[in-house]
Amino acid sequence: MNREQNILRDSHGRDHAYLRISLTERCNLRCTYCMPADGVQLSPKSHLMTYEEIYDIAKIFVNHGVTKIRLTGGEPLVRKDIPVILEKLSSLPVELSITSNAVIIDRFIGVLKANGVNKLNISLDSLDESKFKHITRRHEFKKVYDNIYLLIKEGFKVKVNAVLIKGFNDNEIIDFINFTKDLPVSVRFIEFMPFDGNKWDMSKMVSYVEVMEYVNQAFVKNDIIRLEDAPNDTSKNYKIKDYAGSFAIISSVTNPFCDSCNRLRLTANGHLKNCLFSSSESDLLTLLRTGKPIEPIIQKAVQAKFKVRGGMDTLEKLQKPDLHSQNRSMITIGG
């Protein structure tokens, strides 16, 4: 790493050591908060990064200080060359992890283990089969549920991500926490966030405060244990006394973690986003294909990063559709 240049430090003094790479815009589920009901315009295949280009771009980030890479999508495992991508990236000196909906992850147990991927984030927004079908628009609940148990049995460190939507699954908060009683998993409740086409409004969001109200009503105060958060953690972590697992809240809307943010995102078509909430992006892939250095573009993008939520530094701004409707749908950003 060239520490004199330090192209991954922004104007607020934040160093970015975590890169999330979306491998595909395609998915085998159709979650309502992620994908608009009428779908999305997919990038032509020729506009997407090849496995060689993913590796070349990732290597540049690693040379400048990235120590952690997470693969996302869409559903990253639907990409046919995922074994090659994992093999290439696992050769870099990084912690490699993946976010998946777990529908087909049982087919990749050996590949994940062979490439040192032992930390998995699994999306599961309801423990009720009918609700699962409603939010994903697919009949895959049993497969996902069984695969979570399989991953735990196989020794993977599993986090279960649940996006909370008021009036839909907020009544399952305690069920999810009880899911951690006998299983060594971390259930993470995520505040519903605004993206293009997901019909977001503040009234649908379940806040950090509201989650804790449910928790405090269901459990004795002394049994609710506040855990120490890791550096640059996005979540506030807890566990219930004597439970095997834990739970956490990611409050990107009401209580953002922007001060310690160390994340950058690379979309499947090779665009760099400096913030999940930002509507601006920088095209690295086109420049890479012309043989020109991408470091100046990376540095410019990092320097342009706002201090809070892509410039939406108040809840009032966040509620103005014109400020976030120009952002991508979540499925084309990468989870």
Segment 102-125, tens digit of pLDDT: 999 999 999 999 999 999 999 999
Q: pLDDT at position 56, please?
A: 98
Q: What is the pLDDT of residues 237-261, one digit of tens each?
A: 999 999 999 999 998 777 766 888 8
pLDDT, averaged across the chain? 89
Q: Is residue 197 predicted with pLDDT exceeding 70?
A: no
- What percentage of the chain has pLDDT greater than the value 70? 84
Q: Is residue 323 predicted with pLDDT exceeding 60?
A: no
pLDDT: which is higher, 197 or 24: 24
Residue 18 · residue 71 · CB < 8 Å: no
Q: Is residue 213 predicted with pLDDT exceeding 90?
A: yes
pTM of the model: 0.89
> Which pLDDT band holds residue 310 (cuts at 50, 70, 90)?
low
Q: Which domains, and CATH codes, for the chain?
A: 18-333 (3.20.20.70)
Q: Is residue 322 predicted with pLDDT exceeding 90?
A: no
Q: What is the pLDDT of residues 19-78, one digit of tens each?
A: 999 999 888 887 776 666 666 677 888 999 999 999 999 999 999 999 999 999 889 999
Q: pLDDT at position 198, please?
A: 45
Mean of pLDDT values over 188-208: 74
The CA distance from 216 to 325, in Å, is: 36
Q: pLDDT at position 196, please?
A: 52
Q: Is residue 1 predicted with pLDDT exceeding 50?
A: no
Q: Is residue 191 predicted with pLDDT exceeding 50?
A: yes
